[in-house]
Every structure is written in C-alpha cells, then in structure tokens.
Amino acid sequence: MGSISAMVEQDVQPSDWQTKVAQKRQQCREAIPREWQLSPEISKMLAFPLDKNPNRLFDMDIVKKSGILSEREISITEDYTVPELLAKLASGESTSVEVTTAFSKRAAIAQQLTSCLTETFFELALQRAKYVDQCRSEGKVLGPLHGLPISLKDSFQVAGTEASIGFVSFLGKKSEQNSPIVDILLSLGAVPYVKTNIPQTLMTADSDNNVFGRVLNPHNTSLGAGGSSGGEGALIAFRGSPLGIGTDVGGSIRIPALCCGTYGFKPTSSRVPYGGQATPGLPGWKPILACAGPLASDFEALEILTKAIIDAVPATFDSTAIDVPWRRLEQDAGAKLRIGVLAEDPLYPLHPPVKRALAEAAKKLEDQGHQVIQLSPEQGHVADSTEVACELFTLETETPRGHILASGEPPVPSVAAGHRPANFGSYKCVPDIGKLEKLQKYAALTVKRQELSEDWRKIWSEMKLDAVISPPAQNTAVPHDTYGWPPYTVLLNLLDYPACILPFSKSLQEQDSEPLQIQPGQAGPHYDPGTQHGAPCSIQIFTSRMRDEECIRAARIIEKCLR
C-alpha cells in the first residue's frame, strides 16, 4: 500500500486503475474492526519496508503483544489440531462464535503483517456461527465440519463478495452465487470467513498483484509465501485459519505449503469440485486440469476435509466433479512400504537444505524398516515433464494479458518475467515443436504426455511401489520474484497424480553453508545460506492417479516415521 500513499504525497494525479485500487484497499482496511487493528507500538517492532527486511514474525510474538486476542483465543488458534477443534465444538466446550471470532481476529492481524487476505466477511461469518451454534443446541448436527471456520482462495465465488483474482479490471463485480465447493462446505457445517490473496494471472509462484499487494512469508517477510494459493499458505502458517482451500495447476497448493511450512494436499483432478470459480484464462481451455484441495497446520485435517467433501457426493453439486466415493482403506499402523525416491534432475538442481531434508527423510524411513528404492533422473522425467507442461501452458496467454490491458495496470514483476524457465529451449523432448501450428502442437504434446504417463505406469507396476517421496521444489522459500518455474510440482499436474506436502526440517546456515549458483543450461533460483536461514523444508509424497486414499495413507505412515 506504500506506493499509493507515496503517489498521493507527491501530488501526482492517479490514473483510473490506481484510483480503483486505492478505493478497494480503503474498503479492505475499513472491513477490519478498529479494535483489531495493530497499534503504533507494534509497528515500531517492525523493519520497513516489510518485503525488503527479514522480519521474523513468529520470533516477535506479535499476536500476544498486540493484546487483540484473549489468552483463551490465543489458545484456540495455537494449541489444537483440526480434529481437536472439531471435538471441542462437538462437546460444547467451545462454540463456533468463539472459535470463529478467535480466527477472525488472528486473520486480521495476519493481513496487516503479510497482506494475505482479499475479501473479509467477519460479520456474516459470525451470523453463520450463531446459526450453527443454535442448530447444535437443538441437537441438529449439520455435518463433519460443524462450526469450523474455513478460509478460501480468492478464486472461489462467495455470493455477495468479489472474486477479482488480482485483476483491476475485475473489481466491482459481485459474485451472484457460490462456487459448488462453497455450497458443499456450508452443507457440512463450515463457516467461511475470509478469502485469500493470489498472484496476478494465478500463474506464478509469487503471490503479488496490484490490487491487494504482495503476500509476505511470516517466517521471514523478505521471502515469498509461494503461489498461487500464497495467501492461504501465509494465513495458515500464521495460525489465522485452521483449514483452508486452495487450487493447484502447477503446484499452487504445494508451493505455498512448502514455502510457509504447512501441510498441503493436491488430489487427483475433479475428485474435489473445482467448478464455478473466477478464472484468468480462456473459459473451457484446460490443457492441464487444475484441482482444489486443502492446506492446514496439521496432517489429519487434510483427510478430514477431502473425505468430507467427497462423501458429500460433489457430482450432485458440480457437473465437472467425478462421482467416485471415498474408499475406506485398512489403516495398518505397522505397515512397511516400498517407497521410491525421486532423483534430483541435473537441469533443476536442489538447494542444499532441500537435498539434506530429502536424504534425512529417506534414511529415517529405511531405519524404520521401509524399503527405499532410488529412482534415476531418467526415470523421473522431471525435465521432460517441465518442457511439456510449459509448452501447454504457453499455448494460450492472450486472455490473462487482455485482463491486465483492460484496466491499464502494469504486469507485476513475476508476470512480466514470463512463464518459461530460464533454460527453456536448451533441450527438446518434442522435436521441432516450434514449427507446428497450435492444434498440431497441442496434439504432439498430448502424445508426449501420454508417453511420460506410460513410463510412470511401468515404474509403479514393475517396482511395485506404494508411494514416491520427492523434493517438493528445488528450493525453500526464496526472495520475492525469484521462485521461477516449479519443475518438481508441475510433474504431478502433468501426470494428474495426488500429492501431499509434509513439513520436515528447515534451512540452517551452519549445516547448509555452501551457496548454490545456477549454471548455464540449468534453471531455478540461486541459494544463499544467510538469506534463506530458518526457511521451512518439506518433502512431497505422491501416488498414481486416483490413488488419493493410498496417498493419504502412505503420507500418514511417513509422517509418523518423520516425527
């Protein structure tokens, strides 16, 4: 918001788009109750500008020092997992009004520090919370999420609010109806209360736009929070939401999870309903199917949310959803898994803390009796999948560009940088792709995609793997506008595999002391031990398509080992 105020101070006449942004930001500020706004004393603790200085918000204990939350509200937001919160709500030990108020207050603080929110509807949420409490008192349970506040990525439509997805040209348009997933959440007893920030175009891993500003990472505000569900990642890491829903077409759930140290789950596409969202692209153009899924502060929340939504028979709400029930698998706590380990691709080298975390996780699993099988870079097809996905994504870029041009706003830096990795064109898994017309190109890429899927089918079949663990990214959270292309997540969008992110370890300057410079022919951000010190590390677990239940089960076993 600093650029707007600076512009006014210099007595420069704002353009139409800047005027619209100033008005929208003023509305957003006014939507936060005065008693929830941070005092000047808290501002004195911070180093400005926040995105240029490594403010480590958790170390500052700002929530407690602000005095905005009571001790009991701090406990509600910090001390319980989602299953524990649901149990407290079910027993009457806590009311939905109490829990919703606590998370609303904390979300308001998170917004003032990290710009993680877009739309807030605290009053409506409290009315909803009173209603579900009344239902509870009458013995009527609405569903497995009864009374639980849930945050939503900005692209989901909530009737009466905006879904501008960071485009100035979309401002002022109210959603006339809910996205199907919102209706399902309401039917399950949930309490939506905020929507969360995203990147302009939804196609970069830096959640930054001219309307709502840049999402900052609460671990270190000079690092990115990931994208495109970056607001969800920052909000949940800050404990301003117990459970949120993001979307993922190239890593957009998993990247914020790994950057912010939360759990995340990308299901197989269409198992969780995705329809009825605001979209930046050409309607109907879906070369890679996106999916919706949860981010949370605890692992169990991932299954609770996914299972509850699928059990609600989403195909009766959304024609794009697959009508496949959630399968109840036997939970063998002592089961030993055959686990593949995805190799580092030489074109997309891993940062030292990422490489260390993956090696430590593999050793822990082996030490506890699981079979660990190393896969080669050739078997993993990370670079090939990156090339195919990038070609598919860049077949149609005119529509998002048109939304930007419509208002006169400029592209933000990560969008201006383009959607291709720096080494794009240095290798060709699809020969002569540049010579083909668009339709021929799409067909050739589809053939290559099927070849990659077939190679992976053989791996599952011949190696009899239960799951694969992999780096979720080359890197941890990195400085703003440097994340670039996401090779280790987009692989699984191309294959349409379900995948979990589990927080594990962190970047440590003493242990991971060697800088990493990306070499010619490679792509990715550089690694600086000092800048990235303390950033969360994670591992990614995935299974084959439609094996979402097996993915969750394997991740639970692996999570237990790693803890």
Catalytic positions, please?
A: 153, 228, 252
276: left (phi over 0), alpha (psi -120 to 50) or beta: left
Is there a cis peptide before residue 70, judged by omega within 30 degrees of 0? no
Q: How far apart are CA 504 and CA 485, in angstroms?
A: 22
- Bridge partners, 263 (sequence order): 296
Burial (Cβ within 10 Å: 0-12, 13-18, ≥19) of residue 521: exposed
Burial (Cβ within 10 Å: 0-12, 13-18, ≥19) of residue 413: middle
Neighbours of 216 (CB within 10 A): 27
Q: What is the DSSP letter of 278?
A: -
Binding residue per annotation — 524?
no
Binding residue per annotation — 231?
no
Burial (Cβ within 10 Å: 0-12, 13-18, ≥19) of residue 403: buried
Binding residue per annotation — 172?
no
Q: How would you list the strands of the sheet with 371-374, edge to edge?
A: 117-120, 191-196, 149-153, 243-248, 291-296, 263-266, 499-506, 536-542, 467-470, 338-341, 371-374
Q: What is the DSSP letter of 548?
A: H
Neighbours of 84 (CB within 10 A): 13
Binding residue per annotation — 250?
yes
For residue 156, the SS3 value is strand
Q: How far apart are CA 144 and CA 132, in angstroms?
A: 12
Residues 6+ apart with CB under 8 A from 428: 387
Question: Whose structure tokens read 């370890």?
Answer: 505
- Bridge partners, 246 (sequence order): 293
CB of 101 closer than 8 Å to CB of 107 = no
Burial (Cβ within 10 Å: 0-12, 13-18, ≥19) of residue 550: middle
Q: At 193, which amino acid appears? A: Y
Burial (Cβ within 10 Å: 0-12, 13-18, ≥19) of residue 156: buried
Binding residue per annotation — 252?
yes
Residues 6+ apart with CB under 8 A from 326: 306, 307, 310, 311, 549
Q: How far apart are CA 397 and CA 393, in angstroms?
A: 8
CB of 364 closer than 8 Å to CB of 372 = no
Which strand (E) or helix (H) includes residue 449? helix 438-463
Binding residue per annotation — 251?
yes
Q: How far apart are CA 41 and CA 60, in angstroms?
A: 13
Annotated binding residues? 202, 228, 249-252
Annotated binding residues for substrate? 202, 228, 249-252
